[in-house]
A and B are shown apart, each in its own frame.
Chain A
């Protein structure tokens, strides 16, 4: 009799059926049949004992990471983006250090945060800095959409078809808007948090909060072809599904980024000419970032049926 036998399972959240379900081909629907929303447990640790609808971490990584990492198209896109971003920062005189280069292709909001910080450190004036950050975010949006679509296809062999041109622009706009929201979050939260926890804790808290609530939003746009608002809504709801598995994946990725930025050798003065080792570390870590993106994609497809779509219906009381 293991722990499994002691657990109470909610009949409406059958974990086994979610994991074993063949990945569904996403339907081109804007209004899916809305699953009946279950009453959520209240309180910070109220969902601790409730099984999570997300696949376990090991299964997630094993099923998604290798599929994305074996696709040369994904790797080439991400590697070229890293080169392009280095070129852009170098052109504006920012001289990205190896510790910044390893998060070039990190998931938003971590990557967008560094875009903004690095740009504002060298570009005088808010307007100029904003214009450059917008330009970088547009490039990042295109890269992100391409990688998510390819990752989705790699992880779920019958993934979403290529978007048509008119929907493509809408999807790009939505992912751009989501990144703007994420950037606003990671810049605003530290201002609020630093008053009582200090600026560094504020930044880290903003990264975690951004990843936790919004990591799936660009994936939802690419997979479900929905608007930014709807993607943010569903991402928020997906994050709040019972159990700690989503938190676990977020914390694992956060810990990886933190570890990465602390151990990357940078030398006393970051050289303007990246060495072979610097590039190798940058590109190798890009593979890991893609692996985590694939993991979030895999998990979204696993739980998408359980995440209500559309605005929350106001229930009449009394």
Chain B
């Protein structure tokens, strides 16, 4: 439904950025976690975004070209864990090394800033769509 399509697309973007933010927060929070589910240290997570159909856009002109976004999966970073020598640590291996997560806090901060800016951009496009709808309603006033 005209401007509602733009709103749906922006909404899908906002949801995707929210998930990215959650994942970045999870990575940061677990930057020192040496014991995760399934054994071993926490592994850095990453989101995979994919373009999806926009609900309610069927029948509109160029409905197939307008795509929303969704998180299709959350992957684990395959990079090896960071080894630190700490023989006193309960998780230390036979050589005295502790496996720490492959999380780089600086990288996570950058990811977080990207997610935050993308969310802002999504809100701006949403506001613009709402303003356009309001302008259209104002024509006859």
Decide whether A and B are members of one complex: no
A contacts, CB < 8 Å to B:
none
B contacts, CB < 8 Å to A:
none
